[in-house]
Structure 1
Amino acid sequence: MSTMTDEQHNAKAHRKLAVGYARVSTERQGKFGMSLEAQRIAIETFAEKAGYVLLEFYEDVASGRGEKSFHARQGLQNALKHAVCDEAEIIVWRWDRLTRHAGFEKQIRDVLPDEKQIVCVEDASSLDAASRAARHKRSEHVANEISRRTKEEMAKKRAEGAVFGNPEIYSVQPLGVKTWSNTSETLIHKIADVLRHQADPVSLTHKEVAKLLNDRGIRTGHSNDWTASRVRAPRAKAMKLLEQERAKYRMLTPLFGAF
């Protein structure tokens, strides 16, 4: 565990101190996935926006299940000791990164009595702006990483003889593309492209999708601004398009989505 620098000591009187903690469950996630890095990016962004001095970052590649997992995670133990030593808060991306054990609350209170010393980026309520910035930064990283890995896997498959770019891919019956006008089809593809770069497009509300489109200057087929009601039907078609694409990529690239 590192000690505070002079700069960090001087900052203590003006800014809150924190340590970051991230966890993935398996070696495969830690080695081949993006979760640890994505959590780090979110936590660092949150700390910066919320006015924290981030003293150190700790991580574990270990299960969060069961009573013994608390003591088996050296990264978590170090993070707790650091938080107690420097009267700092612990910032995590999500509560389940701390634990999946029902008795965890008692375990952690024995070390860190003040539960307010643990801050969850995803569930933040009093620091909404910082939390939102961190979520967006993580979403951007996740989307970029998925895109990069998908392209790498597709390149490998092409080298093995796989054929992509089937001109009939967007004309299958479930999508009913043949019944759409060229303008409508292009618009659906634009919406799909915006959704494709979101970490979890399914969880977005229609209002949030409308704002994303408006912010990017994408207009409706009648050149109007998007509203929640206007975006409902084309968003559903765009999601079907993405589902079809993902199904094809998943079939050809075994690692796709395993992050």
Structure 2
Amino acid sequence: MTEDIAINCIAYYRVSTDKQGKSGLGLEAQQKAVEEFTQSKGWQIVGDYTEVESGKKKSRPKLAEAIIQAKRMKAKLVIAKLDRLARNVHFISGLMESNVDFIAVDMPTADRFILHVYAAMAEEEGRRISQRTKAALAAAKARGTELGKNGKVLAQKNKSDAHTFAENMSSIINGIKAEGYTSIRDITIKLNQRGIPSREGKKWYISTTHKLLTIMAI
């Protein structure tokens, strides 16, 4: 069911690497999510911007352009996933202070408080991953392992294993969504209720479910 009031939207997409930007990997999924969401609302996309940038960097020239156009046209800024903006609480806060009306398709009903909490969780997850990686490399170095070569091999294997696990989980996740459970919290609850272990063989948490969905969207 569409809304009666026509709303203009500016779509913002972000891919992490130049390779993804050129191949469309990850970008097509974001575009599809935004298009389906806006169409269901009866909103019109009047502009779109694609950023090829690392999520850890704060410089986003395309996002700045998108915000300017959204303000000028009094349009909504629409993104596919909250983590496509940044895994940084201060960055999300800055976006809010810009007074642009924005919405994340994966969290359309989230208010400002929830967005802060969600961004904080994503930021903390990134910090913990970094800490675990540094600890593993330090331990390898202490054992006399040559980090340059072996560190890259281990990192690549871990990334490959994560994508393989995400592919194997895709049918389960899609099945849960088809039942009407689309929020990260609901999906987490359903995975635990069904006794499906995470990649580490443990129970699911919102942060691990979010990580899985992020990999599936790439």
Structure 2 length-normalised TM: 0.49
Which one has a bigger Cα radius of gyration? 1
Structure 1 length-normalised TM: 0.42
